[in-house]
Structure 1
Amino acid sequence: MFEKNKTYLITGAAGFIGYFLARRLLEQGCRVIGLDNLNDYYDVNLKKARLEKLRNYEQFIFMKGDISDKEAVFGAFETHEPHIVVNLAAQAGVRYSIENPDVYIQSNLIGFYNILEACRHHPVDHLVYASSSSVYGENEKVPFTETDFVDHPVSLYAATKKSNELMAYTYSHLYKIPVTGLRFFTVYGPMGRPDMAYFGFTQKYFAGEPIRIFNNGDVENDLYRDFTYIDDIVEGLVRLLEVPPMADGGVPHTVFNIGNHRPEKLMDFIETLEKALGRTLGREVLFKKVFEPIKPGDVPATFASTDRLEKAVGFKPSTSIEEGLQKFTDWYCEYYQVK
């Protein structure tokens, strides 16, 4: 599947998805250049732990740098001449975009612009970039399909991701760069992001604190999320890396959903997490719960259609939350040495 003579540049390589993608490519004998600024949006030690694992591979080269620094981005392209670029560096988080909008403009817009410019001046075989299920906003038609109208984002984060898709399309049109955008749906798993709900709930449990649930306590009209396990995300990603879109008289740009196509009620997800943690610890686990109104920028449901992905590469995510959360809680308790 992988061409070992090619160089892969992964931005955000110390991040959650970036780490697992880089590891998968390195295990296949590929040469991987990792670019990451190691910012402190969440625990830097976790990013460093991921990075240390990647440093065990001879074919891995790490460059500390920020994609919003044009000189750093162009330096990576000029030095390593990547064939395939995967842009996973971004400022993540819906709620944080309301508190600190500046960093979203800096990273998600200026940073992505720098990546596009680098691909323009140093042509690549394929540019793959992270979009997000948040572009669907409050769409009521489910499942969400890639052809849906997505011009009403409800958070700045979502607006930057929609902007990425427009920018990528334009550069693909003007400079014939083969570009693929990936709309990820609520990614979770071991070594994940501490700012994600499942991770935070687990931290709160061990701190003896209640978890905050933003659904008004309305179990009948609970929030739905298409939780997607990290291994499924990476499998979809690596399959798409080797099939860049063709111009065929048009624009070589396309987008894909990568989601589990099986949305779960938030309360069911929490109950499954309690059971998984209980199995890891060998005792009953019940979170203390506080219910609050839904937060600005949050959406009531996410639900991915994966038909386009399956048609393109013969794959659709299938890991159950029971299996995925068990792997997470087993890792969490071992990593943080809690019991």
Structure 2
Amino acid sequence: MFDVVTGGAGFIGSHLVDTLVAQGNEVVVIDSLCAGHRDTIARHIDSCDIRFVQADLLSDGWQEAINGADRLFHLAADPDVRQSAVNPDPTMQNNIMATYRVLEAMRHWNIPEMVFTSTSTVYGDASVIPTPESYTPLEPISVYGASKLACEALISAYCHSFGMSAWTFRFANIIGSRSGHGVITDFIHKLEKNPAELEILGDGKQIKSYLEVHECVAAMLFAVGHARGRVNTFNIGSEDWIDVKSIAEIVTEEMHLPDTKFRFTGGERGWVGDVPKMQLAIDKIKALRWKPQVGSRESVRIAVRAMLDDA
């Protein structure tokens, strides 16, 4: 199997590359290293287990590297939900336009299959929780969520117009080693600067589903191997949730800071585009006989320990 992974030096992408290499696949990684880090895949590059192409998907010169691929995993994106409300243009360019360029390259080289990483934020403030893939209307409340929904639409159109197949995965909060953003990263950085007090955005009562990154990669590859439609859309997450205050407590416990005081900024949303309650229904992927082995709380603790080891 010849796989291409865009964003393969990033958080989830590098873990996916680890698994694909372990399976014995031929792998090409395309990454600009704007958000990803070469160190995450350096051992695979040095051992010639993968071919690494450093390139921006908005530029030219990388397209020929995908020639002959059996499948393209498109993970490259601007993942910062909060920043998309401050400056939308990078999100629009690096998500929508980059996805369009990838699809055009796939059409040119007749690459038959795409795997795309989307997000729970396409559902917006869902009135049905846990939220199934069939939920409507899809009304994102962040520019990031809107960009991912636009990508889903483009991928569907290309699949039906040009005979491709796709697997789209709407993620809950994926956490773990090599993560460079999100609530756990935020807490760790704040506590390193000031262990006496931790600022928590919002009221700390936001409750969401979290899943450790290795579970996420396993779910993706399982679904790709067991679902065979033109466009296959799956939620990936845990079957429970945890509130932000509890995450803060786990982080301070693992950092051995029993006297840290919490300071809340107030309000039900931590930032513009924040969804106060999120849990995805995963009945569809469970019907394929996959289910997560860990819940949100255990995922958080595993992730905190791994991220502290990374530091």
Shorter-chain TM-score above 0.5: yes
Cα offset, 1:244, TM superposition: 5.4
Which residue of 2 is the match for residue 36 of structure 1? 31
Give distance in 2, aligned partners of 1:115 and 1:243.
24
1:51-70 aligned at under 5 Å gives the runs: 51-69=41-59
Q: Which amino acid aligns with 1:275?
A: E
Matched, 1:334 2:279: no
Question: Deviation of residue 236 (structure 1)?
Answer: 0.6
- 1:72 lines up with 2:72 in the alignment: no
> Which residue of structure 2 aligns with residue 277 of structure 1?
255
Kindly indicate whether the alpha-carbon contact (under 8 Å) linking 2:116 and 2:167 is maintained by their aligned counterparts in 1. Answer: yes
Give 3-state SS (helix, strand or coil) of 1:160's partner: helix
The equivalent residue for 1:24 is 19
Where in structure 1 are there 5+ consecutive unaligned residues? Answer: 1-5, 247-251
Q: In 2, Cα distance between the equivalents of 1:287 and 1:32?
A: 47
Q: Measure how far apart 1:319 and its partner are.
A: 1.6
**Counterpart mapping for 1:115-134 below 5 A:** 115-134=102-121
Matches within 5 A, 1:225-240: 225-240=208-223
**Partner SS state of residue 199, structure 2:** strand
Q: Which residue of 2 aligns with 1:263?
A: 241
Tell me how far apart the structure 2 counterparts of residues 16 and 24 of structure 1 sit (CA, whole Å): 13
SS in 1 for 2:73: strand
Q: How many residues align?
A: 308
- 2: CA distance between counterparts of 1:147 and 1:321? 23
- Any gaps of 5 or more consecutive residues in structure 2? none
Displacement of 1:243 after TM fit?
4.0
Output the CA distance in 2 between the equivalents of 1:122 and 1:9.
Answer: 13
Contact 1:187 1:230 in 2 (8 A): yes
2:97 maps to which residue? Answer: 110
Shift of 1:30: 1.3
Alpha-carbon offset, residue 277 of structure 1: 3.0
1:1-339 to 2 correspondences below 5 Å = 6-39=1-34, 41=35, 47-69=37-59, 71-78=60-67, 81-193=68-180, 195-208=181-194, 210-215=197-202, 217=203, 222-243=205-226, 245-246=228-229, 252-278=230-256, 284=258, 286=260, 288-293=262-267, 294=269, 295-312=271-288, 314-336=289-311
Query: Displacement of 1:125 after TM fit?
Result: 3.7
Report if aligned partners of 1:26, 1:57 keep a CA contact under 8 Å in 2: no
Letter of the aligned partner of 2:189 in structure 1?
Answer: Q
Alignment check: 8 A CA contact 1:126 1:177 kept: yes
Q: Secondary structure at the match of 1:75?
A: helix
- Provide the rounded CA distance (Å) in 2 between the counterparts of 1:140 and 1:212: 29
CA contact (8 A) 2:210 2:299 kept: no
Give yes or no for contact 2:115–2:167 (8 Å, CA) kept in 1: yes
Distance 2:290 2:248 in 1: 27
Asked if the contact 1:275/1:285 (under 8 Å) is kept, the reply is no
Percent of aligned positions that are identical: 23
Query: How far did residue 284 of structure 1 move?
Result: 3.3
| Partner Cα separation in structure 2 for residue 150 and residue 72 of structure 1 | 39
Contact conserved, 1:19 with 1:54, CA < 8 A, in 2? no
Cα RMSD after superposing both structures: 2.0
- Normalised TM-score (structure 2): 0.92
Could you tell me how far apart the structure 1 residues matched to 2:217 and 2:73 are?
12
**1:249 aligns to what?**
none
Taking structure 1 as reference, are residues 254 and 241 closer, same or farther at Cα in structure 2, changes over 3 Å only?
closer
Pick closer, same or farther for the CA change 1:266–1:146 going to 2, 3 Å: same
Distance change (3 Å), C-alpha of 1:326 and 1:138 = closer
Q: Measured at CA, do residues 289 and 214 of structure 1 come closer, stay the same or move farther in structure 2, by a change above 3 Å?
A: same
In 2, the alpha carbon distance for the partners of 1:320 and 1:285 equals: 27
Q: CA deviation at 1:306?
A: 0.7
- 1:21 to 1:178, Cα distance in 2 relative to 1, 3 A: same
The answer to whether the Cα contact below 8 Å between 1:125 and 1:244 also exists between their aligned partners in 2 is no
| Match of residue 3 from structure 1 | none
1-side partners of 2:83 and 2:249: how far apart?
A: 26
- Is contact 2:177–2:310 with CA below 8 Å preserved after alignment? no
Which amino acid is 1:330 matched to? R
SS in 2 for 1:61: strand
1:285–1:169 CA distance, 2 compared to 1 (3 A): farther
Contact 2:85 2:143 in 1 (8 A): yes
Residue 307 of structure 1: CA displacement? 0.8
1:126–1:241 contact (8 Å) kept in structure 2: no
